[in-house]
Amino acid sequence: MHQRTTPPTGSASPTGRRRLARKALIAAASALGVATALMTPVRAGAAPAPAAPAAATPLAANGQLSVCGRQLCNASGQPVALNGMSTHGTQWYAQCVTGGSLDALAEDWRADVLRVSTYVQEDGYETDPAGFTARAQKFVDAAHARGMYAVIDWHMLDPGDPNANLSRAKTFFTAMAKKYKNHPGVLYEIANEPSGVSWSAVKSYAEKIIPVIRAEDPDGVVLVGTRAWSSFGVSEGANESEVVNNPVRASNIMYTFHFYAASHRDEYLRTLDRASDKLPVFVTEFGTQNYAGEGANDFTMSQRYLDLMKRKKISWTNWNYSDDHRSGAVFKTGTCDGSTWTGTGVLKEAGVWIRERIRQ
């Protein structure tokens, strides 16, 4: 999976009541369009022009999400599949997450969701917990302001044992859940890519972190990483049966799966198919390239994954919404230094391809 452990080349390194409150937020968002229309003046003697109804944003249309059976469901209990993008590490590419870029993601790309990736190590959260918490909240708020959901990604990578950062994770998710406990637009991804540890160790971690979130936000969907870089164990010789036979003891959760199509072939595709027959699955990261998010794109294999996910209503976010030099970054290098975000002229080949599929 995405196993890079060095900074990107050439990049700078710096830079009850709760349910009612959630419903009120959605109602306010829906009412805003009506109020705006009512306040628009009409010239005397002119027939009012027929207003084209604005499409409801994904957040306004679907409201509070929950897990029903093996599906992600909206506030009406109907299965939904969110499609969108993941940021790169916000310690490196915060300049790619701007008002303009998120306007483009919401309006030009028509995305449903933004995954906000807070790296724990690699000059990330551990260097400035308060600063990176505030940065994550800024980007989550910006997604919400544009009617998109936000996945709060605790991007642990190396060390691969999520328990190594247990104390930090508790602090981070306490702050995030406290802020968003009354908001319907968040999902909590508690461990990006565990590796080199058993499923029982990952499960133990999840069963310590989920109560921390639930103490503040009893309704938010929690996304649990699986072992071997969230491959359900396949990258370390196992398979989904270890999760099926020993699931996390918690409700309203989903399990994550990551793939990179040029590296992860039929065995991984079959695993996703089998696992999603028995477990709720959210693909929080994938690429059309190799496991490092670079090299040639394999759009044929990628489409096979997307066809499966569409058929089974599996939500996904693609890696990544930045101008990193690697082929997996959707923007051409240098785009984030400018102000043009829409259309295909600023996109690499992978960006053109994934934008088209999000727009479908």
Q: Which residues are catalytic?
A: 193, 285
Distance CA 298, CA 106 (A): 26
Handedness of CA 329, 335, 339, 343 (dihedral sign): negative
Handedness of CA 88, 90, 91, 92 (dihedral sign): positive
| Residue 162 CB coordination number (10 Å) | 28
Distance CA 211, CA 220 (A): 12
Closest CA to 328 of 318, 338, 337: 318
Beta strands 71-73; 221-224: pairing state: unpaired
User: DSSP of 227-280, one letter per residue?
Assistant: HHHHSTTGGGT--THHHHSS--S-SSEEEEEEEETTT--HHHHHHHHHHHHHS-
Q: How far is CA 346 from CA 14, 23, 94, 203, 358, in A?
A: 24, 38, 18, 41, 17
Query: What is the greatest pairwise CA distance in the chain?
Result: 75
Beta strands 149-155; 66-68: pairing state: unpaired
Alpha carbon 143 to its chain centroid, in Å, reads: 11
